[in-house]
Amino acid sequence: MIAFLTGKLAFKSPTHLTLDVQGVGYEVHIPLSTYYALPNLDEVTALNIHTHLREDAIQLFGFSSPHEKELFLLLTTVSGVGPKLALSVLSNLPVPELLHAIRTDDVDKLTTIPGIGKKSASRVTLELKDKVGKLQTGSTQSVSPEAADPEGPFEDALSALVHLGYRRQDAKDALGRVTKAAPGPIALKHLIREGLKELVRG
């Protein structure tokens, strides 16, 4: 089982990256919070890894902090929540907000996440409330807007939101409203975040 990787960042996108570890490229699926913390291409980075074994594939999920990984693993213990949905949950809600929602039985907050209905949200709060009480919120490393990739931010942001489960047209409309309201060019990191806020508001 791979639990940790350190290598050069060969490729990155809001949903996955390729890490070059001594000439071997590992494809790793990531939440948006980890994407925000990534360095520039060809720089060295380290990720906490969960190895997910399937009958037809081996998938790697990477996290910038052990807190994210631990919460990801807890989410996958909930009935009906697989790795893909757990990643979507972490992408939509920062760890402190997610922990607060679980601890306070904030079902409405959880149902703003695509793929999480009221039954699923209730299961998450019921099954994890006691378990997350032991978790520390921690803090994930963040990057400045200047470090975000300025090339094609709209399409990258659109792709990220679609991968999170939002309808393409809804995501496109939300991002359109964000870019229209922005006083100037907006970094990918902030475009995705503001787009998520627009989608949650409806």
Count CA atoms within 13 Å of residue 131 on its CB side. 16
pLDDT for 135 equals 67
pLDDT for 119 equals 93
pLDDT for 137 equals 52
What Rg do the C-alpha atoms of the chain give, in angstroms?
17
What does each C-alpha distance from 127 to 4, 81, 121 come to in angstroms? 27, 12, 10
Residue 18 and residue 108 share a domain: yes
Residue 193 and residue 115 share a domain: no
How far apart CA 44 and CA 19 sit, in angstroms, is 9
Residue 100 and residue 8 share a domain: yes
Residue 152 and residue 62 share a domain: no
Residue 195 and residue 154 share a domain: yes
Residue 163 and residue 131 share a domain: no
How far apart CA 192 and CA 177 sit, in angstroms, is 12
How far apart CA 137 and CA 135 sit, in angstroms, is 6
How many H-runs (helices) and E-runs (strands) does the chain carry?
Answer: 9, 5
Rounded to the nearest 10 degrees, the angle between the axes of helix 153-163 and helix 168-181 is: 140
CATH at residue 108: 2.40.50.140
The whole model's pTM is what? Answer: 0.76
Residue 109 and residue 40 share a domain: yes
List per-residue pLDDT tens for the chain, 202 residues long: 889 999 999 999 989 999 999 999 999 999 998 998 999 999 999 999 999 988 888 999 999 989 899 999 999 999 989 999 999 999 988 888 899 999 999 999 999 888 899 999 999 999 998 888 766 554 444 433 333 444 458 888 888 888 888 888 988 998 888 888 888 778 887 888 888 888 877 6
Q: Which of 180, 51, 94, 75 is nearest to 132 (CA)?
A: 75
pLDDT for 155 equals 85
Which residue segment(s) compose the domain that 32 sits in?
1-143
CATH at residue 151: 1.10.8
